[in-house]
Every structure is written in structure tokens, then in C-alpha cells.
Copies of this chain bind each other. A is one copy, B any other.
Amino acid sequence: MNNFADRLIHQIQRKKSCIIVGLDPRVELIPRSENRRQKTDAQSIAQTLLRFNKKIIDLVADEVVGVKPQSAFYEKYGYRGVKAWWETLAYAKEKGLITIADVKRGDVPSTAEAYAEAYLGKSERDVIDAITVNPFLGGDSLQPFIKLAQVNGKGLFVLVKTSNLGSKDFQDKTLAEGQRFYEYLAGCVRAWGRDLIGKRGYSSVGAVVGATFPEEAKRLRELMPEQFFLVPGYGAQGGKAADVSVCFKPDGLGALITAARSIIHAYQDPTDKNWEEKVISATRQMNKDVTRKHEK
């Protein structure tokens, strides 16, 4: 199966889950039992993050379809953090999970080519299934990603309407022709994804659509019938189960709901001895809330 969307649907149905766990660990929230020495140098923190991520992956693997480590939380610790990020992706891949690298890259074509090779290439580090990309630089800036996704059976999620309040500033702007910018973008994403539609009718070029703006998400669902939505903003950012409902298609597919803090740090208190159970039960609860009701 060399189409990302087809592989994704296979995993969603096998796992009976549409949850993607954001692996964005904050070192100060890692359980004391997993971080006894409390060292503060980049090397020690990077190792702590990796160890914690592996534990989280083991805990949630049965309940989720994949993971999404956000690059920023690792880049913060220099190349040592980046190493831990790659090792996290490798471990998740080994455990049979879909891996989404949340990098939001976007650059002029010659540079985008280098980014595409970095994250969608067939190097020794071939542990990524899909990445997030930023469309601000225009169509030609995304072509290297689209091309490599097609050749290597990888996926893309293009930012269309993000979950933050400030997404109103530019993404909601009304264009001279009367459309909102995010609506216009949706048409572009659909066109970019046309050559990557799999056997199940979904494209490997998806869209990032925040759970925090259900009205806009509903409209975007109409405009992008072949797109999988990667939906951030559930849980800690305020998105509710009802809000994400509009992101699903009548076939019960089409949406991947992400949550980070509300899952990986569900226990809240780092001294909590039952932290593992709390991570598991938060994941199960979320799966019940957002996946089960859309099951067909």
C-alpha cells in the first residue's frame, strides 16, 4: 500500500481510533519517578524526553492511530533535542504507529526541496509518514513536498485554519472576490491533492483545521471532500468533542484528532504515583468521546 491516505485508513479501522497523540513533553511536567536526577543540561533533558516519550508510546499504542512530536519542543535543546525527536519517531514507527512530524516547514522551491528530502526522503531516517507544511510562500513552495509524498507514499497536512486565536488575523481575511483566505486556500489544497487520491477516495494531501473554530471547520469540510483533517486544539486548547464532530465525513473518516498536554501530562502533578493509569484512562476517555461516535 503505497498511498499514505490508504495506509492511514487501514490503521484507523484496525485500531478503531482516530487519535493522534502530540508528543510535546515539558520537562518540568515529567513525572518525578521518570526524572529522578533533575539535571538541566541539554543532553540530560533530551535523554529524559526520549525515555518519557517511549513510555507514553508504550502506554497509548493500543488506543491511538499515531503520534505527532512537535519539533519545537526538541529544537529547544539544540541538536541533542533533534536527535531525541528522530529517535522518538523511530520508536513509534517500530511500534506500528503512524508518525506525523509537526514541523510546519515552508520555503522557496530550492530550499523546500532540501526540507522535503529531510522529512519525506528515503534516507536512513525513513521513520516519518507525514509532515505538516506552511503554505504562505505559495504553490511552487509546496511542489517539492507534494512530489516526494507521491513518490514515497508519504502524506502532507497543509495549514489552512489553525487553532490559535490569532489565526483570524490573516487566515480569516476576506479577499476581493468575497471569499475568506482559508476558503481560497482550501481550494488550492484540494487541487494540490488531486494526484494523490488513494483507493478509498482520500488524498495524501490533507489539511490542518483547528477544533477551536467549528463553524469554519464545517465550511472547510464542504470545500475539501477528499482531505483528511489533522485537528489540533482538542482538550487543553479548549476544543470539545462536539466541535470536532464537523470534521468527520458521513463515512466516519476524514479526521485525525490530536491532543498533547491533556494526554501525555494527564496526571498534572509530577509527583503523582498513578500517572501511568491516568495517561491510559485519559486516552481511553478521549477515544470514547471523539472516535467511537463516528464509527461505522
Contact B139 A72 (CB under 8 A): no
A104 to B168, CA, bound (A): 20
Q: Is the CB of B174 within 8 A of A162?
A: no
- Chain B residues, Cβ within 8 Å of A135: 136, 170
Q: Shortest Cβ distance from A99 into chain B, in angstroms?
A: 15
Within 167-218 of A, Cβ neighbours of B (below 8 Å) are at 167-171, 173-176, 178, 181, 184-185, 188
Q: Is A83 engaged at the interface, CB distance under 8 Å to the other chain?
A: yes
Q: Which residues of B contact A171 (CB under 8 A)?
A: 136-138
Known contacts A106-B104, A164-B109, A176-B178; is A138 also within 8 Å of B76 by CB? no
Q: Is A140 interfacial (CB 8 A cutoff)?
A: yes
In whole angstroms, how far apart are the Cα atoms of A61 and B70 in the complex?
A: 36
Q: Are B138 and A164 in contact (CB under 8 A)?
A: yes
Residue A141 at the chain B interface, CB threshold 8 Å? yes
Encoded as 1 (CB less than 8 Å from any B CB) or 0, chain A from 156 to 172 comes to: 00010011111111110
Residue from B78, B115, B141, B165 in contact with A166 in the complex, judged by beta carbons closer than 8 Å: B141
B72/A118 in contact, CB under 8 A: yes
Given known A-B contacts A78-B123, A137-B166, A175-B173, A72 and B111 have beta carbons under 8 A apart: yes
- Give the residues in chain B near A111, CB-CB below 8 Å: 24, 70, 72-73
* A interface residue count range (under 10 / 10 to 19 / 20 to 34 / 35 or more): 35 or more
The residues of B that contact A138 with a CB separation of less than 8 Å are 162, 164-171
Mask, A205-243, CB within 8 Å of B = 1, is 000000000000000000000000000100001000000
**From residue 81 to 136 of chain A, which have CB atoms closer than 8 A to chain B?**
82-83, 85-86, 104-109, 111-112, 114-115, 117-119, 121, 123-125, 134-136
Residues of A within 8 A of B (CB): 24, 42, 70, 72-73, 75-80, 82-83, 85-86, 104-109, 111-112, 114-115, 117-119, 121, 123-125, 134-141, 159, 162-171, 173-176, 178, 181, 184-185, 188, 232, 237
In addition to A72-B111, A108-B237, A170-B181, 10 A-B residue pairs with Cβ atoms within 8 Å of each other are A24-B111, A42-B124, A72-B114, A73-B114, A75-B115, A79-B83, A82-B82, A109-B166, A138-B165, A138-B166
